[in-house]
Structure 1
Amino acid sequence: MTGVGTRTRAGATGVALRSGTRALAAWRPTPYTVAGTAFWLLLAVVAWHTPIASDFGQHASAVQRVRDHPWHPANPLLKEPGTDSPYYSPYIVALGLAARATGAAGWQMVRWCGPLNLAVLVAGVGAYARTLSTRRAAPVYALLAFTLLWGVEGKEWSGFCGVWSLTRGASYPSCFAVGLTFLLWAWTDRLARRGGTAWQYAGLGAAAGVLLLVHPITALAAAVGIAATVAARQHGWSRRVAGRWALAAAAAVAVAAAWPYFDVFSLAGDTTVDQVHRRLYTHPWQWYGLALAGVPALAWRAARTRLRDPLVLMFAADGAIAVYGWFSGHYTYGRVFALLLVPLQFGLAVELAAAPPWTRLRAALVPPAAVALCFALAAQIGSVVPQSWLPVATRHPARWPDYRWVADRVPVGDVVLTDESIPMHVLPAYGLYLVAPTWPDPSTPAADRDRRWSDTTAYFAPSTPPARRAAIAHTYGATWLLLPPTRLPPAPATLTATSPQTGEHLYHLTPPKEAKP
């Protein structure tokens, strides 16, 4: 009997193995699995090898501050308290706690987030495209349109997910926020069509609250998309259905209000970064022009659905926000351009996937899409293909110099005095403080920011008396000076190191306690 039982179990195991083998052999990856994986791999490798630049230093510095003091992190850039700084979002705090647990530096944690954020983005694009079309090619077209159809000039901006921008911004919170936005839209579509439990609605709201804390301006566009999806997809309104959506909204507000690091709702009327974002309106054709290839598709959808289409409603609402930002002077609202183009890009993608060959619709969509794609490749290919493989005239993103040579000599938490733009962006990545902030932080009063910049300018001015210079260094606790190779230190200092790449000089200043204020 034992032998019979053993043979029976062995036979069952063999049948299970053969069934599993047949199922594995029958499985075929979808077109989007192949395209999405290839896109993820390419961008992850390029982003990983891109030098620290732009906003990277600000985010890495914030992670480092949380790593050092989780409950009361200092200001990301300045040696002062970071109370109420909106940089301390759940995204940054989570990375800071992970850095504290693993012993990694802040810049290392931000670097490692690039592949994760890209995976969230690729998953989100696929999930949302599938709510708009059942065609297998639709998500592939959507990924191509969303990352290529921007402007005739490759441009980098946080939250703008063109290929050019993603090579640097993949590790930023904004990339994660855009990916999460697509997932929330797909989640909303599912609930609007099929309904769900109260917990599912509350979960959607809680996730939206997290998004609001991670990247508020992206959350505004995400809320527009959620509202557009509910308006277009929800049928059979009742008191129960309305109550479920009210529960989702309440959960979002509750999660955002409960966050202890800053009050996100206080940012609604804040004008701190408005002037920084004025540039989003200055060259619309160069930045967004190729997305106009999706206008015929969006118009077709509007006519076919009598305006009850989520993409049409979303485009109208986001467009109104962008216009308001221009006429009101609150140029920060121009950040909605990052998702304002989605209806054009995704509308073109799903209609191309759905239109049969040789129809009037396809004849109207294919030529402008093909022309736009050619311009897009010409504009952005230099961001992912090495310069030696392309014509000399092809543009490539500027590769910023490495400042590890400074970080190896200056302890974390020391203050470096410099007025050069590139090191002011990069040095905070290694936990170093500045005298004047690179980017305005709403937690630092405008008067304080202006005073710091005025003092920095005065320090390097030839006419400034030595006593005034010493007082400035003492006031901000600056003990290091970084200068380009053509400038001499304006105060007594000891040359510590020279950059082998740029020739910049690092000096150690006289300790502030020895200087007379």
Structure 2
Amino acid sequence: MSADLLVRRAVRGATALRGGAGWRPTPYQLFGGLFWLVMSLASWRLPMCCDFGQHAAVIERLKANLFHPAHPMADLPGAGSPYYSPYAFAQGAFARLTGLPGRQVVRLSGPLNLLVLLTGIGRFVRVLTPRIWAPVLSLLAMVLLWGTKRAWWSGYLGLMSMTGNLPYPSTFAIGLAFWAWALTGTRARGMGGLVRYVGPSGLRSFSGYAGLGALYGLILLVHPITSIAAVLGAVAFVAGWQSRWRAAIVGRWALAGAAALLVGHCWPYFDVFALTGDRSVDALHERLYVGMPGHFWLALIGVPALWLRARRAKRSEGHWWRDPLVLMFVLECATVAYGWVSGHYTYGRILGLTLVPLQFALGVELAAPRPWGSGRRRLGLVAAVGACVGFLTVQAGAVVPRSLDPVGFDQPPRWPTYAWAARHIKPGEAVITDGFYDVHSIAGYGPDLAAPLWPDPALDERDRLRRRAAVRAYLNPASTRAERTAIARRYHVRWLLMTRWHQVPEEATVVERSRKTGEVLARVGG
């Protein structure tokens, strides 16, 4: 730590003792606060879409029964479902306490998740460098340097994707991952700057390492796929910065790992370690590997900055991998490649975090106080052009409302609402749907689906596929009334939510029709 940094901290502390009259916000506090406000509003204005209904359904089930929730989307037991994480449990408890519906709790989670993410980024960059503009430049690189094709997945941190995915558990888990990396890097390098944030016992205490391990265990439970990237980052920081490997140091890191495993093992709602062999969602994630250059190529602007870090590490430490960002990038690329080669495409979910070393290396390099030579000047110019290209081609519609849009930017998806149908359906009543939007959304209002949309360990995949086949048979125009009645009785179906392209069966009673989409809600059964 440089002497001038110590002087600045001492002066800041003295100013605080005199009443804090001299406090001034840092550039990141100003920019991050503005970013938090803009993105919270941008996320709030979007209607429920994509996976929003799934997460709202989880909260509805926990709101109904906090300790023994039903399956997130079906009238079945929910034991073993990984959706019932500590994060969802807290949301369900909040819903029970306030009486708010699940979809409102999900919406309220967006600003909280963004706050965790932004503070985690700030702490993470401070561990990499004390340069005050580095967090701002890193954040800009993270949200703008993706590609020129829209990448819309949970866990992707581009502006466009964040508008829809801020309220999801993945964003909260990524924010925790940045905090975990910051604390891991601090311990590995033996810095003392964060003692006040982890208690008086200090960074070298066993309780501090156990607490760090518990944080990784929490990430594992909240979003298991994010925990893979989180652990790879932890390995990179420990391998890169831990210089002395005495028995006590090994024991402390072993304690952190044991604490993480213990937290994961003790969670009663599902067995997180059983997910390692679950390939039921791999087919859904194969699309992650399609069109990768168009989704990510602008992030390659950070390659020269990462190469500079590797060269400096080799010159000062003797090995290129002693730089944590470089090693993190290599490990994450290897994991993504393994997902492609093995067909375990779910590992591709860490693609968004694989860009973090590139984006943050670029932000740190451009914030360096050294005089700008021609090489860094060119890198800064290329980064600025890339950020403008990313913003204008993909990201601008996230923060520019259509009413203020001068050129017609690509906007986030705006799905129809199903409140008009949900007000007739009691929570827990089963529905058969034949559309794309309704099958994703209606469970978020409280009803169940006769055939759950996504695979879930709480329901045997063969049973789910049988239910989906039964729904297709019910909707088949060639099916008889007796066949439809048998299916409705078998799965306790009370309602049909039909698009205008399907004819309502003769035994169903139309209750309401949507004026916007033409969809029909009809009642069947008793």
Q: Is the TM-score greater than 0.5?
A: yes
Q: Which residue of 2 aligns with 1:369?
A: 383
Select 1:481's aligned residue among 478, 488, 496: 496
Q: Are 1:98 and 2:94 matched, yes or no?
A: yes
Note the C-alpha offset of 1:367.
2.8
**RMSD (Å) for aligned C-alpha atoms:** 1.5
Select 2:444's aligned residue among 429, 440, 447: 429
Q: Which residue of 2 aligns with 1:239?
A: 247
- Pick closer, same or farther for the CA change 1:509–1:40 going to 2, 3 Å: same
Q: Are 1:89 and 2:85 matched, yes or no?
A: yes
Distance 2:71 2:253 in 1: 37
Note the C-alpha offset of 1:289.
1.1
Q: Residue type of the partner of 1:218?
A: T
Note the C-alpha offset of 1:72.
1.3
Note the C-alpha offset of 1:100.
1.3
Q: Are 1:72 and 2:55 matched, yes or no?
A: no
Select 1:451's aligned residue among 457, 466, 469: 466
Distance 1:310 1:354 in 2: 18
Distance 1:392 1:303 in 2: 43
- Pick closer, same or farther for the CA change 1:285–1:459 going to 2, 3 Å: same
Q: Helix, strand or coil: the match of 1:416?
A: strand
Q: Residue type of the partner of 2:489?
A: H
Select 1:403's aligned residue among 418, 433, 439: 418
* 1:259-306 deviation per Cα after TM superposition (whole angstroms, max 9, x unaligned): 111100011111011011111111111211110010010011111112
Q: Which residue of 1 aligns with 2:293?
A: 285
Query: Number of residues paired by the alignment?
Result: 493
Distance 2:296 2:369 in 1: 25
TM normalised by structure 2 equals 0.91
* 1:95-144 deviation per Cα after TM superposition (whole angstroms, max 9, x unaligned): 11121122222222111111100000111111101111111000001111
Listed as ranges, the gaps of 5+ residues in structure 2 are 1-14, 191-202, 315-319
Distance 1:249 1:510 in 2: 54
Note the C-alpha offset of 1:22.
7.2
Q: Which residue of 2 aligns with 1:5?
A: none
Q: Which residue of 1 aligns with 2:7?
A: none
Q: Which residue of 1 aligns with 2:198?
A: none
Q: Helix, strand or coil: the match of 1:456?
A: helix
Q: Which residue of 2 aligns with 1:229?
A: 237
* 1:389-427 deviation per Cα after TM superposition (whole angstroms, max 9, x unaligned): 224442112210111111212111111111211011111
Distance 2:23 2:79 in 1: 53
Q: Is the 8 A contact 1:355 1:361 kept in 2?
A: no
Q: Is the 8 A contact 2:434 2:499 kept in 1?
A: no
Distance 2:444 2:267 in 1: 25
TM normalised by structure 1 equals 0.93
Q: Residue type of the partner of 1:302?
A: A
Q: Is the 8 A contact 1:296 1:364 kept in 2?
A: no
Q: Which residue of 2 aligns with 1:206?
A: 214
Listed as ranges, the gaps of 5+ residues in structure 1 are 1-18, 512-517
The correspondence of residues 38-437 of structure 1 with structure 2, limited to 5 A, is 38-194=34-190, 195-306=203-314, 307=320, 308-354=322-368, 356-378=370-392, 379-437=394-452
* 1:411-446 deviation per Cα after TM superposition (whole angstroms, max 9, x unaligned): 111111112110111111111111122222132222
* 1:322-345 deviation per Cα after TM superposition (whole angstroms, max 9, x unaligned): 000000000000011121100000
Q: Which residue of 2 aligns with 1:3?
A: none
Distance 2:378 2:105 in 1: 47
Q: Residue type of the partner of 1:152?
A: T
Note the C-alpha offset of 1:376.
1.1
Distance 2:432 2:288 in 1: 30
Q: Are 1:26 and 2:19 matched, yes or no?
A: no
Q: Is the 8 A contact 2:85 2:221 kept in 1?
A: yes
Distance 1:469 1:85 in 2: 30
* 1:174-220 deviation per Cα after TM superposition (whole angstroms, max 9, x unaligned): 00000000000001111112252100000000111011011011001
Q: Residue type of the partner of 2:179?
A: L
| Higher radius of gyration, 1 or 2 | 1
Q: Helix, strand or coil: the match of 1:417?
A: strand
Q: List structure 1 runs of 4+ shifted beyond 6 angstroms.
A: 19-22
Deviation larger for 441-450 or 118-127: 441-450
Deviation larger for 65-74 or 170-179: 65-74
